[in-house]
Amino acid sequence: MSNIVNRDTNPSSPLNITPELAAELKERSKNTYQQLIDGNRAFVERSLADDPDYFNKLAAGQNPQVLWIGCADSRVPANEVTGTKPGEVFVHRNIANVCVHSDMNMLSVLDYAVNVLKVKHVIVAGHYGCGGVIAAMGNKQFGLIDNWLRHIKDVYRLHSHELDLITDDKQRANRLVELNVIEQVFNLCKTTIIQNAWKERVDLEIHGWVIDIGTGYVKDLKVSCNSSVNLGKVFAL
Ligand code: ZN
């Protein structure tokens, strides 16, 4: 493909690519977009064939029992991974499923899910092979995202005594994926949103999962929390 790009033939172009390549790229992009429109039509037709009342029921409102906080990676969609349907899982996703107590986006989703939708389970779902976690283990600058990845570097620092003993890079990255999920579960438990909910409810649990993209299965890290008893005296509010 490199021979298609010719920076000398069209120096006036702001993209510095040939007109032929520009046309090809535009066509490919158009096709990708059209596939989305076609996919939507197929989804509607399929859903209506299964249940003619499907969208009327969806439009009537949502009553999800689960909040999913997962990675933005395109390979780990909440509904598909859990075999659930639209309306069953409230979803928040960001790079490397990080829960930061100053992130108004995450906090708004958490507050709405816990206090309005009254979800019963909050699941932090990481995944092996997470690009965000792997990038956080390195020393390369990626730009703006470096600020976000700092949160994962902090997780590494907290657990460096364990991680530094793992010599295999892939295994060390996989363990950091798990530890990152565990720390984010802990971060959720530390929020006043969760702690206040636990003062009023006994049916709210926070869980930590890792998805193995290679098999499709999730691993429950067995760090589920349903009270602030073990939060430690400085975090219990
Ligand atoms: Zn990821």
Residue for token digits 């930590």? Answer: 208
pLDDT band at 13 (very low <50, low <70, confident <90, very high): low
Given this model, what pLDDT does residue 4 score? Answer: 43
Q: What's the average model confidence in pLDDT over 206-225?
A: 98
Mean pLDDT along residues 63-91: 98
What spacing in Å lies between the alpha carbon of 182 and ligand 1's midpoint? Answer: 15
Residues assigned a catalytic role:
71, 73, 75, 127, 130
> How high is the pLDDT of residue 2?
40
- Domain 62-220 fold is Beta-carbonic Anhydrase; Chain A (3.40.1050)
Q: Within 10 A of 30 (CB to CB), how many other CB atoms are there?
A: 10
pLDDT > 70 fraction of the chain, expressed in percent and rounded: 95
Q: What is the pLDDT of residues 84-124, one digit of tens each?
A: 999 999 999 999 999 999 999 999 999 999 999 999 999 99
Residues 9-19 have a mean pLDDT of 70
pLDDT category at 69 given cuts 50, 70, 90 is very high
User: pLDDT digit string (tens) for 150-163?
Assistant: 999 999 999 999 99
Å from CA of 75 to ligand 1 middle: 9
Q: Does the pLDDT of residue 3 top 50, yes or no?
A: no
Calculate how far, in angstroms, residue 170's C-alpha sits from the geometric centre of ligand 1.
Answer: 14
pLDDT of residue 1: 39
Interval between CA 221 and ligand 1 midpoint (Å): 17
Q: What is the pLDDT of residue 231?
A: 86
Measured torsion, CA atoms of residues 85, 87, 88, 92, in degrees rounded to the nearest 10: 110
In this predicted structure, the answer to whether residue 165 has a pLDDT above a threshold of 70 is yes
Looking at residue 12, its pLDDT comes to 56
Average pLDDT over residues 44-72: 97
CA of 223 to the centre of ligand 1 (A): 20
- Ligand 1 centre to CA of 73 (Å) is 5
The residue extents of the domains of the chain are 1-61, 62-220
Q: Give the distance (Å) from ligand 1 centre to CA of residue 125.
A: 9
Asked if pLDDT for residue 225 goes beyond 80, the answer is yes
**For the chain, what is the mean pLDDT?**
94
